[in-house]
Structure 1
Amino acid sequence: MKITKVKKLINLLTISSVSFLFACANGPSVETNLDKENFEEYFAAGNVTVYQNEDDLPGKVISLGLVEGESCKAKENDAPANAADARTMAREKSASMDANAVIFTSCTLIEDQQCLEMMVCYGKAFQVSSN
């Protein structure tokens, strides 16, 4: 008698599990703001290495120009403006110039009409090659 109850329980669990899996397989779709056509741009800052000074740049170096990045605290409950976000934006701008290296010269808080506080970081973008 106990074996029959165990078999029924196993069958019930199996049917429930299979039903659950089929229900999940046709679940809601997920949409993101990631565009697979521009996927590399989302991680462009990761391709730009930060160096402390020009003496640290390895290989052949071509200066591509100046870059700046901003971090804005627009509302009172937003995170404070910070150098990390401003530097990341500057690295993204460097990557858009085909740079793979940047040297930051300064970061400073500035007054801005759209932001309660704004951090701006300035730097120089470089293309470094091993040739």
Structure 2
Amino acid sequence: MYYYGHPYMVYPYYLPQSMGMVPVNYAPIYRNNLIQSTVRQQNQYPPVDTEQLDKSVHKFQDLMKQANLLLAKLAEDPVFAKELMSAAQQSKSEKVNKMIESTGITIDVKTSFTPTGIRIILNNSEIAGQCCNLLIALRW
């Protein structure tokens, strides 16, 4: 084993943890031209409101029920699964979406597929970007 007296020459981007780091809670205070270090008070967080979380959880439970319909159909009906895979491999997006909707799903569905699998996004938000999305990625 070789010993290198200068680790920066061998590893030019190496910087030990102790060098060049100032703790996050360090705040110098200048008094009479002297620097005194003190620890800042941590910011207080606002009180917790779980109303939005409760709404998200209930919406996501609905997504899970919808996803269960689709997965149950794929698991129980091999003919349906074969037709879905065949349509996806032939890039028939409309047929794939109609087949997925025929399983009983009542929410917005977006699909994309590759030669190795399919990605199904279930979305039950009224406004784009709000709660909730569920991504189902299946390989074949």
TM-score (norm 2): 0.23
The structure showing larger relative contact order (alpha-carbon pairs under 8 Å, at least 6 residues apart) is 1
Larger radius of gyration: 2
TM-score (norm 1): 0.24
